[in-house]
Chain A
Amino acid sequence: MSDVQIQQFRDQIQTAAHANTVLSIEGGGSKAWYGNPNTHEKLLTSSFHGILDYQPEELVITARAGTPLSTIEAALAEKNQMLAFEPPHFGGHATFGGAVSAGLAGPGRISGGNLRGYVLGTRLMDGQGHDLSFGGKVMKNVAGYDVSRLLPGSLGTFALILEASVKVLPKPAATASLRCSISEARALTVLNEWAGQPLPLSASCWIGTGDTNTDGELTIRLAGAIAAVHSATALMKTTLGASELDPATADVFWHNLREQQLDCFHDLGGDEVLYRLALPAICPAIQFTGFSSSAASHKRILEWHGQQRWWYGPGDAATQAKVKAKAIEHGGHASCFRVGSHGVDQRFTLLSDQAHSKALVAVQNQLRKAFDPSGVFATGRLP
């Protein structure tokens, strides 16, 4: 069965290569809105599914690209393990291959690291229909270039992911979530100070407004050994006057944050954009006057101890440029993560806009050619 499907993928890719057409790879379509839009013919992976190898003591799961992400997570949960980078689903049909290809991570990213760091190996089909395997199922592997780790975040513009092997971790022995009222500036200070100490800080989220004088709501998740979580809980209660959330409420909160389903993540107006700012740890609360007063009243959401920030604002080119400039001023970058119905086509910062990356444009173009000489996957979803 799988051989038949692989041959079908190959046929579709080789046909497209001969006809000089482009294929847009899609798993469950849950993240079809992410990246620059395109209207190319689809290559669908959802029928190519199934967990191929999962042995808890190896801390690795190998599955086909079309496997529902929820199936993977359920299999891991049964053995008390998890994907530590907490990939967002953004819809019920999210697939494993789609999660790898999008390269997105949830609240646990600040402590557990990004998705890329967990990818151990992939089986790919390149733009000529070659069936290729890179990396493997073992933790340490430096045989050949680490091609597998080029795939996370490539949004299907490199190669078709057939299978992936991803490192998993045991669930922590204990978790606790606490909440308090605090200003953006103070929240950023305490989070970064604590992150430099041996504390079991697993995730954080601050929600407030752009008005830096008013307090917002900070939620912290602790995870680790029972004793460590217990003593850190006490510390945070005394230092911040934080109160502990009951486990069910906490689970719902972190899930809804990951899925952008909290009330503060509202539906976008036609001309509106949800900006994602990625910033270095040192970045303070940002004063930004580029939004109109109505947009300024929208909530700002900070995750990853302030390294990932979500702002709602107008999507016009001038505002976009101002947001990007602000992020660059602080040593980071900004993208149009979600855009309203009248959205722009160019959602990511171009490599050529980044000071020391200009020379990499040629490298990137040649890399794409090596994987995909006829441009079968050149959807332009990613610049």
Chain B
Amino acid sequence: MMNTVAPPPDLLEIQALQAKLVAALKPILAEDGLLWEPEDTIPYECDGLAAYRRMPLAVALPENEAQVSCILQICHAMSIPVVPRGAGTGLSGGAMPISQGLVLSLAKLKKILDINPFTRTAVVQPGVRNLAISEAVAHLGLYYAPDPSSQIACTIGGNVNENSGGVHCLKYGLTLHNVLRVRGILMNGEIVEFGSLAPDAPGLDLLSIVMGSEGMLAVITEVTVKLVPKPKLAQVIMASFDDIEKGGNAVAAIIAAGIIPAGLEMMDKATTRAVEEFVHAGYDLDAVAILLCESDGTPEEVAEEIGRMTTVLEKAGASGIRVSENENERLRFWSGRKNAFPAAGRIAADYYCMDGTIPRRHIATLLLRIQEMEKKYSLRCLNVLHAGDGNMHPLILFNGADADEWHRAEEFGTDILEACVELGGTITGEHGVGIEKINSMCVQFGEHERELFWGVKRAFDPAQLMNPDKAIPTLNRCAEYGRMRISGGKLPHPELERF
């Protein structure tokens, strides 16, 4: 199960290193700001991807930027790797500790420093929860647009590091489009700022490379986010389809008609059935696919857009269309989509969530292929999609107590990701590569691209101590992976020496 992990180093060696690190960090942190006893550090052994676990040397919980800088300087001097961590809700193991490293939790940096209604910005510390920003500015008629499913728990620092999206990013953009400035600290302890409140400074834009960098370039200590006016009204259409292809084509038809819905989501039949039992939203249980299409804006705008979308959906062959008549009903229509993950957890011991993105026109193709894979691996899969973005979240159901099932689930997931790349897409839309998809990076990128990624890494972190071993595979690792997955009799990367 953990074939990606190096064998544990000598126990005595680790204990000595731990003692040295604790002695160095203790003087600069509050009493409850440093954990090293196993019973204290065990909650940090994994993030939202619980299948990958490791115990760190220690966990530091600084309370301010100066402490963060000090911690990094100390670790830099001691050559101890650091894994930054927000709320630990990540789904790709990006915050999985390193056995001989420190976990740097930003959870205590959770102040909202400034809210400015005139500039429509808020300055927040990295540990502020995504939803807490919108809650803090709701009285001004504003909100922070990106809304990943985990928004109740996930933090803005983590969002920046994953370039998180959410249900509404088709219309309102990703984290990248909603953050103006990021303050962070390099591995050597130097404080830097990326971006600006003033738009489009001439020069290289390093903010964009920090976005989605999975905690590998800088530790974020402050984020200036854009706030947008809260729409006066939102309404959602729930459309049923008796055929996967019709459903997939309807997604493309809405976009082709010049409409950018506030949300455009899809669930397959297996998902609808699983969630209906759980939320009783009144879903059409016979539908092969259900689309949720949201419109927001002024009442006039919403009426206009709902009308246009209804026409397109009818033309696309929807077998049933319902429009939410009030806010309660709208939330009920959404409840299933929002509860797909817990519903999956209810019908299976474990589930494995994938995150590939493909061009919208291939949605049906991929869903049909996943049906074939279900047979091949004898495992069930629920499909929920940010259809408007082509971002798929297949949930592979398995029983973790059965090693063979987990192995099949991993293989199933890898097959899905490779299908995404083949269809012109990518292995991760918003969850990040982390440790989970690091092998699939060998499929998506060639040797020279990966070498350039390392060049980027070294430019920010020459000693390669900040969350090393994540996201970007080494040449050797890809060679090893290629050896394991020889497809169609052809060896990938024949140019490489095999080990």
A: which residues have CB within 8 A of B? 35, 55-60, 80-81, 103-105, 109, 113-114, 116-117, 126, 130-134, 136-147, 149-150, 152-154, 158, 169-171, 173, 192-193, 195-199, 224-228, 230-231, 278-282, 304, 307-308, 327, 331-333, 335, 348-349, 351, 354-357, 359-360, 363-364, 366-367, 369-371, 382-383
Contacts and interface: CB of A to CB of B under 8 A. Distances in A.
Nearest to B457: A145
B430 A196 contact: no
B191 interface: yes
A271 B182 CA distance: 38
A53 B196 CA distance: 34
B108 interface: no
B471 A144 contact: yes
B201 A278 contact: yes
B259 interface: yes
Given A58-B359, A150-B208, A227-B304, A198 B441 contact: no
A357 B169 CA distance: 30
Interface stretch (B3-11, B34-42, B170-178, B320-328): B170-178
B453 A145 contact: yes
A197 B141 contact: yes
A140 B360 contact: no
Contacts of B197: 280-281, 331-332
A224 B204 contact: no
B432 interface: yes
B165 A367 contact: no
Contacts of A143: 426-428, 433, 437, 441, 444-445
B183 to A, nearest CB: 7
A137 to B, nearest CB: 6
Contacts of B452: 126, 132, 147, 370-371
B494 interface: no
Contacts of B444: 143-144
A351 B205 CA distance: 11
B69 to A, nearest CB: 11
Contacts of A371: 452, 455
A87 to B, nearest CB: 12
Interface string B352-396: 000001111100000000000000000000000010011100000
A66 B230 CA distance: 41
* A81, A147, A354 — most chain B CB neighbours (10 Å): A147
A281 B208 CA distance: 21
A227 B298 contact: yes
Given A58-B359, A145-B453, A367-B204, A198 B298 contact: yes
B192 A357 contact: yes
B120 A153 contact: no
Contacts of A109: 199-200
Interface of B: 116-121, 140-142, 162-163, 165, 169-170, 173-174, 176-177, 183, 186, 190-194, 196-206, 208-209, 211-214, 217, 229-232, 252-253, 255-256, 258-260, 297-298, 300-301, 303-305, 357-361, 386, 389-391, 424-433, 437, 441, 444-446, 448-450, 452-453, 455-460, 462, 471-472
Contacts of A304: 199
Contacts of B201: 278, 333, 349
A196 B118 contact: yes
A147 B213 CA distance: 11
A56 B200 CA distance: 28
A149 B191 contact: no
12 contacts: A58-B359, A117-B176, A144-B433, A146-B212, A150-B208, A197-B229, A198-B230, A198-B298, A349-B201, A349-B203, A364-B204, A382-B202
A382 to B, nearest CB: 6
Nearest to B359: A58
* A59, A81, A142, A351 — most chain B CB neighbours (10 Å): A142
Contacts of A280: 119, 196-198
Contacts of B360: 57-58
B222 to A, nearest CB: 11
Nearest to B424: A137
Contacts of B459: 363-364, 366-367, 369-370
A308 B457 CA distance: 33
B118 A281 contact: yes
Nearest to A142: B212
Contacts of B204: 150, 153-154, 158, 364, 367, 382
B86 to A, nearest CB: 15
A279 B358 contact: no
Contact of A142 (B118, B359, B433, B455): B433
A373 to B, nearest CB: 9
A179 to B, nearest CB: 24
Contacts of A103: 200, 205
A307 B199 contact: yes
